[in-house]
Chain A
Amino acid sequence: MPRLVSHPDEVKIISRRFGMGAEKIDRYIELGGYEAAKKCLAQGPEWIIDEMKASGLRGRGGAGFPTGMKWSFVPKQSAKPKYVLVNGDESEPGTCKDHLIFLHDPHAVIEGTIIAGLAIGAKVGFIYLRGEYRYLLEITERAVADAYDRGFLGKNIFGSDTEFQVITQTGAGAYEVGEESALMESLEGKRGIPRIKPPFPAVVGLYGGPTVINNAETIASVPHIIDMGGAAYCAVGSSRNGGTRLFSLSGHIERPGVYELPMGYNLKKMIYDVGGGVKGGRKLKAVVPGGSSTPVLLPEEIENLGMDFDQVGKAGSMLGSGGVVVIDDQTCIVEFALRTISFYAHESCGWCIPCREGTDWLKKSLTRFHAGFGAASDIDNIQYIAENMMGRTFCPLGDAAAMPTLGFVKKFRKEFEDHLNGKPCPFAKHGVPQLTVV
């Protein structure tokens, strides 16, 4: 069972029902659940979107797009049905927050989906979970069935004449399906390859209808925002970054876990106070701040770094999915870079060439490097390939592979040079596991 953690600095909004039995509908109602949906039903779409805009909530999947604005892009009149699509295909390495949301508070996702549906005028919402999360899908399906039994979902939700249906869906193993257009393809029973944009999903999305796609954490935040009011939620966070977010602390950290902290919380404090510091009291070498696709940061770069979309962006990285991966001084960065790029090479859907060929090329170069057979020119070549992948693919997977690679090469060039000319990995003596050399 995933362990729940706690720290005094946490501001528990999304996680306030974790571990309280709220996966059961009676308990969820007892804890104030479904009041937000009822309120939204009475207030209407414009009020909901205004509250969402006031909350300053930005997409928790990684891109950080303002949620209220996204919802307002959906045309009011549409010949085709409109849809809400909840992205629970959580698969960015370093991120396991949605795992806990579906485990402890599936009704918050359902309630958030209803509210999103009311806001855009959709009658159907889909909740898509990655295939590996089967036990969480079962928990969610039970919660959906209970919500139907109570009349919270169906033809006449909460006794009104408004209809809203929720349909759950399982994936079957594919990181790429976390990209919104690939997600729609997968849900339509196809290979999960991205669509060209524009048109954007808000205009032409699932089954060709206008579609709002939000990350599961974004959707789970919605009922809480309605409960406490958009302005109050916004005030918890930092400038232009409303509220809290679930940070997944993992890697070489003393107390790993998912912590809910205000947006803008200092990264150094997050590692040393909240997470208890580097494991075994060792020295910090680097931090991946927002999931494996975000460029690595050095210890001196995190001193005064507030964890919100703008500040991390200014520091040359991204807040991404909030997956903070801590790396100690006994880790080989070349090996870490290789493991990162191996993932992207495995997950590239193959639809466009710069990503399909680029990830594979980078993996081969880094494999050779790690084995001690790199050439000095390889360092520049790795950088050249990565730079040429950037911005040249249909979806952000190409960037997600290129960005961290560029970060590793630029910030740890010396360590790459130490691997040249048949020299064994300088960290091998510390018992760092070696990858199989191809």
Chain B
Amino acid sequence: MNSEQMTLFSPKLAARFDVLVTKYPVKRSALVPMLLYAQDEVGYLSDAVIAEVAQRLNITELDVRNVATYYSMLRFKPAGKYNIQVCTNISCMLRGAYDVYERFQEELCIGDKGTTPDGVFSLEEVECIGACCWAPAIQVNYDFHDELSPDHVPGILSGYRGKPRSEGSR
């Protein structure tokens, strides 16, 4: 393994991957989780990430890309430090999700899949996130925020400004 690959993932993530590839009856089953966890750390699936995942699973980069392009959470360009995902599917729509989504656009001055110039926030309209009974709901990275109205938007944004990046827990 060359030095570039060795520094791509943190020692913690590299160790996690070493365990992950032994977890399943077939090594390749680790592919989707590896891509997601790598993205959590690196920010997106760069060419280097794809190359290293391919090498760790002993499959081609084409195989990795073929799978990665299928899943909507996986991305090939950086997003903001906090990726805001606003659900606008039916249950959320009926309870005003588009108003919430518009308020985010106004506050951040960005549109769908946009990123703020400082790289802190990105915004995305997403499909159902499984919080229908607590609609309208959003996810910021992996954190859920539910029962929202447009007036909650500034408070959510200021809560994340200057906060260290969450590692997936609520």
Query: A: which residues have CB within 8 A of B?
Result: 2-3, 81, 90-96, 98-99, 124, 130-135, 138, 167, 169-175, 186-192, 207, 248-252, 256-258, 288, 292, 323, 325-328, 331, 336, 339-340, 343, 346-347, 349, 433, 435
Chain B residues with CB below 8 A from A192, complex form: 70-71
Docked complex Cα distance between A192 and B96 (Å): 32
B86 CB → nearest A CB, Å: 12
A2-B146, A171-B71, A250-B135 given as contacts; is B32 within 8 A of A189 (CB)?
Answer: yes
A216 CB → nearest B CB, Å: 11
Chain B residues with CB below 8 A from A175, complex form: 127-128
Docked complex Cα distance between A135 and B30 (Å): 19
Total of A-B residue pairs, C-beta within 8 Å: 162
Q: Is the CB of A173 within 8 A of B72?
A: yes
10 A-B residue pairings within 8 Å (CB atoms) = A3-B147, A93-B89, A134-B142, A134-B168, A167-B24, A172-B71, A186-B32, A191-B66, A336-B93, A343-B90
Q: Which of B24, B71, B133 contacts A257 (CB 8 A)?
A: B133
A-B pairs with the 3 shortest C-beta distances?
Answer: A173-B73, A433-B98, A173-B72
Q: Is the CB of B67 within 8 A of A189?
A: yes
Docked complex Cα distance between A133 and B128 (Å): 12
Q: Which of B28, B70, B89, B143 contacts A174 (CB 8 A)?
A: B70
Docked complex Cα distance between A326 and B93 (Å): 12
* Count of chain B residues near A, Cβ 8 A: 49
In this complex, the member of A90, A174, A336 whose beta carbon has the largest number of chain B beta carbons within 10 angstroms is A174
A358 CB → nearest B CB, Å: 18
Q: Is the CB of A346 within 8 A of B170?
A: no
Q: Is the CB of B127 within 8 A of A251?
A: no
Q: B130 at the A/B interface (Cβ < 8 Å)?
A: yes
Tell me the chain B residues, 6-39 only, with Cβ under 8 Å from chain A: 23-26, 28-33, 35-36
Which residue in chain A gives the minimum CB-CB distance to B27?
A189
Chain A residues with CB below 8 A from B61, complex form: none
Query: B: which residues have CB within 8 A of A?
Result: 23-26, 28-33, 35-36, 57, 66-67, 70-74, 88-91, 93-96, 98-99, 102, 127-135, 139, 142-144, 146-147, 168-170
Docked complex Cα distance between A340 and B91 (Å): 10
A191-B67, A292-B89, A343-B128 given as contacts; is B33 within 8 A of A170 (CB)?
Answer: yes
Q: Is the CB of B93 within 8 A of A256?
A: no
Docked complex Cα distance between A249 and B95 (Å): 13
Chain B residues with CB below 8 A from A133, complex form: 130
Chain A residues with CB below 8 A from B26, complex form: 188-189, 207
Q: Is the CB of B72 within 8 A of A174?
A: yes
Q: Is the CB of B67 within 8 A of A2?
A: no
Chain B residues with CB below 8 A from A256, complex form: 132-135
Q: Is the CB of B29 within 8 A of A187?
A: yes
Q: Is the CB of A433 within 8 A of B93?
A: yes
Docked complex Cα distance between A327 and B24 (Å): 44
Docked complex Cα distance between A130 and B131 (Å): 13
Q: Is the CB of B133 within 8 A of A250?
A: yes
Q: Is the CB of A188 within 8 A of B99?
A: no
A23 CB → nearest B CB, Å: 13
